[in-house]
Amino acid sequence: MGGLIGQVLLKLGLVSEKDLLEALSEQLDVPVVSAEEYPEEPVRLNGLSSDFLASNNVVLLKNAGGVLVCSAAMPHSDYIRKGLELATGLSVELRLGAESDIQAALEKALASDTAEAEDEVAQDIDGGAFIEHLKDLASEAPVIRAVNKIIHQALDYGASDIHLEPFDDGLHLRYRVDGVIEQYEAPASALAAAIVSRIKILAQMDIAERRLPQDGRIMTRVKGREIDLRVSSIPTVHGEGLVLRVLDRQSINLSLSKMGFSADTLKRYTQLLHKPHGVLLLTGPTGSGKTTTLYASLASLDADKLKIITVEDPVEYQLHGINQIQVQSQIDLSFARSLRSILRQDPDIIMIGEMRDTETAQIAVQSALTGHLVLSTLHTNTAAGAITRLEDMGVERYLVTAAVNGVLAQRLLRRLCSHCKTEVEVEAGVARDTGLERWLGDGAAQIFNANGCEACKYTGYSGRTAIHELFVLDSDVQKAIQSGAGVSELHELACRKGMHTLYEDGLRKVAAGETSLEELLRITQDQDGDDGV
């Protein structure tokens, strides 16, 4: 493990901190500092760097008649003693302090410095000296450790997002793991402002501006892995809230065969993907894996023989052999403006990160009609809903039927933990009412439920898989669209022609033991119709 023998024994839980302090006090012949002896207000001396104190675990207790009394985790260190004497010109008496007490005192002093700096910045927001002071506070060792711990924990838990939220009772830390957000132990509230400043500095954001939302990006290496953090700040009544989207390039799996597709859906989707022209849309709410499926779709194509250009906001993963454009609103490089230029680049395939406005949708449809394959995403609940969404965006129905090849709706379900999932028997009535009996094998009445173990951190789930609903615009569907059919009619027509709904695709995964019925109902509760929900 490395480190001093006492610290190692303490980490292993073989000795208590009290027993360790007593043994060290006797061995070094140095008195122990109790928690009550630490000063209420931090002791400050000119010429003595707070960085030196924090990095060496030293707290100033008092200046008693020219003798500087300090608490230190290593009071026998000549380096610490000589450094303090040179910086202050005083005689130094080092006493033994518990590392936990010393850290608490250092964090308290840092919080006091942060509060002073914030008051100064509030008085003079453009004051360069105050901004530099904030930067210094964000570079203190306890703050750096706290931020690093937050990021490391996110990787350990497999989190997709980190939420730092200030409230009246302090800073709250929440992680979104497998699509579910949960609260975890937050760092000390005294460090909240300094932690926010530290993250904003790393993301190259303006730490003096706390009244407006900001966006930034952190590229870092954690545990040998390249991590991309997309940072978003927003002002709240109790301070700045931060959300960090975690993009782990090594964890992304850009293979369509591993996206959770059922065999029949994958076959039909691949056929649409290899059409020479037309629009292929992916729909679903934020965080349903649409962009990952788009990337996997592009990765399955031969980029060496095709000219593929993407317009994204932001470019989440860089793909080999594919030209990717980052939207930049500050210089008016929008989706629509990029698309107009792309058409002069002789592309075969165009991927639009998201259809957000009428102009983008119309250019995409026109691109498909002039011989290009266009891939994009929309925010709709069902695949059939994409048709009316395009109509709402100003695309005429006759253009929709002429340009759109198909729509793939997608959701993400949590996978059951393979170590602890438990087999349960389904009652005949439940199987019939939910529609599950159609997908269970002959005589089978067993599915699996979540249980919880150490491997899945007692959630019962580990990782996610996708369910899909592929809406193909064949001649019958095109006639229904042109005749003015609504979403429900289109949905029913597609089901009669063999489309499996999101719920039905999920039932297949429940019957296969990949997920639980409760998880499927949680994800598809916004779906209506004859699918049993």
DSSP-derived secondary structure for 84-115: HHHHH-SEEEEEEE-HHHHHHHHHHHHHHHHH
3-state helix, strand, coil in the chain (%, to 5): 40, 25, 35
CATH 3.30.300.160 matches 5-113: yes
pLDDT digits (tens, 9 = 90+) for 190-199: 778 888 888 9
Residue linked to tokens 């954001």:
205
pLDDT at 317: 78
Contacts of 175 by beta carbon, 8 Å cutoff, 6+ apart: 153, 154, 157, 159, 161, 162, 163, 181, 182, 184
State the CB neighbour count (10 A cutoff) for residue 511: 21
CATH topology of domain 256-525: Rossmann fold (3.40.50)
**Residue spans per domain, the chain:** 5-113, 131-248, 256-525
- Which of 134, 141, 142 lies closest to 117, judged by CA? 134
Mean pLDDT for all residues in the chain: 85
At 114, the pLDDT band (50, 70, 90 cuts) reads low
* Residues 502, 493: Cα–Cα separation, whole Å: 15
pLDDT digits (tens, 9 = 90+) for 224-235: 778 889 999 999
pLDDT digits (tens, 9 = 90+) for 235-264: 998 888 999 999 876 666 678 888 889 999
Reduced to 3 states (helix: H, G, I; strand: E, B; else coil), residue 38 is: coil
Is the pLDDT at 219 greater than 90? The verdict is: no
Q: Count of H helices and E strands in the chain?
A: 19, 19
Query: Is the pTM value of this prediction over 0.75?
Result: no
The answer to whether residues 410 and 290 touch, using CB atoms and an 8 Å cutoff, is yes
State the CB neighbour count (10 A cutoff) for residue 433: 11
* Residues 303, 347: Cα–Cα separation, whole Å: 11
- For domain 131-248, which CATH number applies: 2.60.120.620, 3.40.50.1100, 3.30.450.90, 3.40.50.720? 3.30.450.90
